[in-house]
Amino acid sequence: MNYIEAVKGNRKWISGIFMSEQDTDNYFQLIPEDIRDSQRIKWVNFEKYPVYLVEAEKFYFVNLKGIREAINKIKVIQDFEYIYINIYEITKDFVPEKPGTDYMGILKHVHVDNEYLKRYAKFGDECNMFDLPWDDG
């Protein structure tokens, strides 16, 4: 699997995700020249969807087991607004309308904060991690 990672100042985002190397190259050529220098094509060893993208200090791709490992490694702090990581579910090629820009918000994702960790501790093994219940029911 290939992806395009962008870095501009202290901002990082994924500009596209593709199973096909040819699709990656074709999309990369659509990125405007004035921002193409900040984009890099990278490869990870995944051959089919779904895959999961973890956004922490850096981006990395994992399988379902890898998500659980990332969540279980979190050292909880008492800041209830702090987001430890974001987890994105990738079920097909991610091809934003405007090549090279940050459209990651349209991907199905969760922000892992203390509230999420509390719900995950209660329901995580029996529910979809992207649809954890909010109530005690």
Model confidence over 22-63: pLDDT tens digits?
999 999 999 999 999 999 999 999 999 999 999 998 999 999
Q: Which whole-number Å values give the CA distances from 125 to 84, 114, 130, in the listed order?
A: 20, 17, 12
Give the Cα separation of 108 and 53 in Å (integer): 10
Q: Which whole-number Å values give the CA distances from 21 to 25, 103, 115, 118, in the listed order?
A: 6, 21, 39, 40
In this prediction, residue 135 has a pLDDT band, given cuts at 50, 70 and 90, of low
**Contacts with 50 (C-beta within 8 Å, 6 or more apart), sequence order:** 89, 90, 91
Structure tokens at 21: 């190397």
Ranking 41-45, 112-116, 132-136 by mean pLDDT, the lowest is 132-136
The greatest distance separating any two alpha carbons of the chain, rounded to the nearest whole angstrom, comes to 53
Ranking 18-22, 36-40, 96-100, 126-130 by mean pLDDT, the lowest is 126-130
pTM metric for this prediction: 0.90
